[in-house]
Amino acid sequence: MAQMHQPADGTACPSCEEPVEPGDRFCGACGYDLSAGPVPSPDRPTLAIGTPVEWPAATGADTSGLSPRTQQPGDLPGTDSDGGELSGPGVRYDTPPSGDFELAAPDPARAAPADPRAAELPPASGTRGASGAPGASGGKLCVACRSGHVDPDGYCEHCGHAQPRERDHMEQELESVAAVSDRGLRHHRNEDAFAVAATSLPDGSPAVVAVVCDGVSSATRPDEASAAAARTASEQLLDSLPRGTHPQQAMHEAIVAAATAVNSLAADAGSEEPDQGSRQNAPACTIVSAVAAGELLVVGWVGDSRAYWVPDDRSGPPARLTEDDSWAAQMVAAGLMNEAEAYADERAHAITGWLGADAYELEPHTASFKPDRSGVVVVCTDGLWNYAEGADEMARAVPADAAERPLHSAQVLVGHALDGGGHDNVTVAVLPFAVPAEGAAPA
Q: How many CB atoms lie within 10 A of CB 35?
A: 8
**Is pLDDT above 90 for 199?**
yes
Mean pLDDT is lowest, of 24-38, 377-391, 425-439, for 24-38
Q: For residue range 229-238, what is the model confidence (pLDDT) as tens digits?
A: 999 999 999 9
- Please tell me which residue, 381 or 65, carries the higher pLDDT value: 381
Contact criterion met (CB below 8 Å) for 434 and 198: no
The pLDDT, as a whole number, for residue 297 is 97
Mean pLDDT is lowest, of 14-18, 243-247, 368-372, for 14-18
For the chain, how many residues are written? Answer: 443
- Please tell me which residue, 104 or 21, carries the higher pLDDT value: 21
- Please tell me which residue, 245 or 279, carries the higher pLDDT value: 245
Contact criterion met (CB below 8 Å) for 37 and 14: yes
Tell me the CA distances in angstroms from 9 to 19, 24, 38, 93, 254, one per residue in order: 10, 13, 18, 46, 51
Tell me the CA distances in angstroms from 223 to 26, 175, 230, 286, 396, one per residue in order: 51, 27, 11, 11, 30
Band (pLDDT 50/70/90 cuts) for residue 26 is: low
Instruction: Tell me the average pLDDT of the chain.
Output: 75
Q: How many CB atoms lie within 10 A of CB 387?
A: 21
Mean pLDDT of 194-218: 96
pTM assigned to the model: 0.67
Q: For residue range 247-256, what is the model confidence (pLDDT) as tens digits?
A: 999 999 999 9
Contact criterion met (CB below 8 Å) for 209 and 291: yes
**Is pLDDT above 70 for 440?**
no
Query: With pLDDT > 90 as the criterion, what percentage of the chain qualifies?
Result: 48
Q: Which amino acid is at 337?
A: M
Band (pLDDT 50/70/90 cuts) for residue 53 is: very low
The pLDDT, as a whole number, for residue 361 is 86
How many angstroms separate the CA atoms of 384 and 415, rounded? 9
Which of 260, 257, 251, 290 lies closest to 380 in space, CA to CA?
290
